[in-house]
Every structure is written in C-alpha cells, then in structure tokens.
Structure 1
Amino acid sequence: MPRQIFRLKISLAGVRPPVWRRVLVPGGYTLDRLHRVVQHAMGWRDCHLHSFDIEGRQYGEPDPDGELALHDELDVRLDAVVGKGSRFHYTYDFGDWWEHDLVVEDAFTADPDERYPSCVGGERACPPEDVGGPVGYQTLLAALADPGHPEHRSMRDWVGEGFDPAGFDAGRAGTLLRRFC
C-alpha cells in the first residue's frame, strides 16, 4: 500500500511578521514524530514541554504525576486523527506559550523518489528560546531594529550577532528533518 503524505502548514500564532513552515510528512507518523518535525522545521531546541490539541483532545508526553491530562502521543498516528483540510494546534513551552496553528493543506501518495519528511517552504527565523513568548519577541524585534533603543545593545548581546529575524533556510530545515525525524 503506498504511503500517504500530508502537506502541513505550520504558523506561529501571535507573531508579526508571520513565521511559518510548509512540510511534507508521512501520515503514518505518530504525534511524537510530528513533534520532532515541528521542532526541527521551526528551529526550536526541544527543551520545554509541548502538547497537541486536536478536536479538543490533548496529546503529548504523559505526565507521571497525572497533573496534565494528556493522551500519549506515542500511541496516535497523524492519519488517525486528521485529514486533508484539518486544523489543529501545537503548543510549545508552557511558560512562553508558543502556539502553532497547523493546517493539513493536502494529502497525496508518496513519491518513491522523494525522502520524507521534508521542508518545502517557510518564512522568517524562529524566535529564540526563552525570549518571553510573542510579547517578548515583539520587544526583541523592536530593540534589534532600532540602534537607538535603550535595550538594543543588551538584546543584541543576548541573542547573538548571527541572529537574523528575517532569515530562514528551507534546505537546512529539510536536512535536519531527514536526519532527526
């Protein structure tokens, strides 16, 4: 039976200008593998908790203390809970609260000559970890854009000279996806 591939658009909610990725993912992936796809495609470092919200059900790593009522993401295949046209959410870092909107734009048969998952598009760099969520990121962007801003130098030092908020390399993201997902 040929493999089904989902074309997903992942958009970071509450951030302007938009930060998004378009990825091709096997429908047979479990949600924990989709978690890794989102992490590597976006540019996160996977150092915080996460969850998926699909039609009101929460999925993630089960909490051994039982405080978070999450269904085990290892037990759920993507194609069992979504299909073409589905919309769902992924939240990363319960402190900074990064919400991602995911849309299944298309579903098609895998090309036997292609390797999946892959990143086929996107815009703008992922915000740095621990920047303070969308509000903190907007503050960072404003400080970086204005050399006269009182926090310009400290923010530039914190984020590093190499950080370019407009930068995104789909080829690099695709390489990371194939290597780690």
Structure 2
Amino acid sequence: MSRQIFQLKISLAGVRPAVWRRVLVPGGYTLDRLHRVVQHGMGWRDCHLHSFEIEGRQYGEPDPDGELALHDELDARLDALVGKGSRFHYTYDFGDWWEHDLLVEDAFTAEPDERYPSCLDGERACPPEGVGGAVGYRALLAVLADPGHPEHAETRDRVGDRFDPAAFDADRAGTLLRRFC
C-alpha cells in the first residue's frame, strides 16, 4: 500500500518579514506527530501548550480538568481531516499566542527511497521563546537592529550571540524532523 504525503506550508502569522517552512509529512500522521513537526521544523522548544483548529474544531492534548474543550490529537489523523488545498491553524504558547497558518499545498504518493518527514525550504529564524508574541518580537527585532538602543546589549545577551533573525537551515530542520518526529 502506498503512503500519501502532504506538502505543508507553515507560516507564522503576524510576523514580518515572514517566517515559514515547507515540509513533507505522511498523511497518516496523527496531530500529536504533526505538532512535533511544527515544533522542530519551526525551531520552537515545545515548552508550552498548543492546539490545532481544523474546520472549527479544536484538537490538542486533552485537559484533565476539562477547562479546555479539545478533541484528542492522538485520535486525529491528518489525512482524515484535511486534503490538498485545506487551510488550518496551529497555536503554540497560549501566553504569547503564536499562531501558525498551515496550507496543504499538495498531496502525492511517497517516493519509496525518501524518508519523511522532511523540510524542503523555509525563511528566517523562529522567534525566541517568551518574547511576548508577534508584538514583542517586532520590538525585539527593532532593538537588535539598533546598536545604539539602550537595551541592545541586554537584549543581545538574552537571545544569545548566535541568534540571527534572517538565518534558516533547511537541512538542519530536516535532520531534526527525521530524528524526533
């Protein structure tokens, strides 16, 4: 039996310049595995809660206290919920509220010698965790771009010298996807 592969474009909403990834994911993945694809593909550290919204239904890890009405992501297969041309949403960190738009750009039969999931392409680094969402990230980028800003040195220390907002390495992201997803 051949496996169906979905080509997804994952875009971080509300962030300019755009931060996005193009990944190939088996259609048989459950949403908990797709969560890991988004985390490792984008560059998040999986430190916060998350949810998917597909056609008005919320999916995620069930809340034992029942405060969040989520359908169990372990029971939801990607290919049962979406198809080519489908759009849906993933939210990460309910404090910073990072919204991701996902588009199923294509669906095709898996290549027998290819390993999935994989990262085809993308642009720009994922924002650091805990910067205050899209608004906080815009402020952080402005401070980093201005060496004369009074908070420049402190901000650079907080995000680290290696953080380059323009950098993205699709091969590294692909390696992380294959290793952890």
TM exceeds 0.5? yes
How far did residue 179 of structure 1 move?
0.3
Match of 1:180 in 2: 180
Distance 1:116 1:150 in 2: 46
How far did residue 154 of structure 1 move?
1.0
Distance 1:77 1:110 in 2: 17
The answer to whether 1:54 aligns with 2:54 is: yes
Distance 1:177 1:170 in 2: 10
How far did residue 150 of structure 1 move?
1.8
Distance 1:88 1:149 in 2: 39
- Partner AA of 2:25 in structure 1: V
Consecutive unaligned residues of structure 1, counting only runs of 5 or more, are none
Aligned length: 181
Match of 1:24 in 2: 24
Q: Look up the SS of the partner of 1:95 in the other structure.
A: coil
The answer to whether 1:152 aligns with 2:152 is: yes
What RMSD over aligned residues (CA atoms) do the two structures have, in Å? 0.4
The answer to whether 1:161 aligns with 2:157 is: no
Distance 2:14 2:150 in 1: 24
How far did residue 151 of structure 1 move?
1.3
Match of 2:117 in 1: 117
Moved over 2 A (4+): none
- Partner AA of 2:94 in structure 1: F
How far did residue 84 of structure 1 move?
0.1
Distance 1:139 1:31 in 2: 32
Match of 1:107 in 2: 107
- Partner AA of 1:145 in structure 2: A
Q: Look up the SS of the partner of 1:17 in the other structure.
A: coil
Match of 2:45 in 1: 45
Deviation per residue, 1:150-170 (Å, 9 max, x gap)? 211111011011100000000
Deviation per residue, 1:12-70 (Å, 9 max, x gap)? 00000000000000000000000000000000000000000000000000000000000
Distance 1:18 1:71 in 2: 30
Match of 2:65 in 1: 65
Distance 1:104 1:35 in 2: 15
How far did residue 110 of structure 1 move?
0.1
Deviation per residue, 1:89-114 (Å, 9 max, x gap)? 00000000000000000000000010
Match of 2:9 in 1: 9
Distance 1:169 1:142 in 2: 23
Name the % identity.
87
Distance 1:149 1:135 in 2: 18
Distance 1:150 1:120 in 2: 39
Consecutive unaligned residues of structure 2, counting only runs of 5 or more, are none
How far did residue 149 of structure 1 move?
1.3
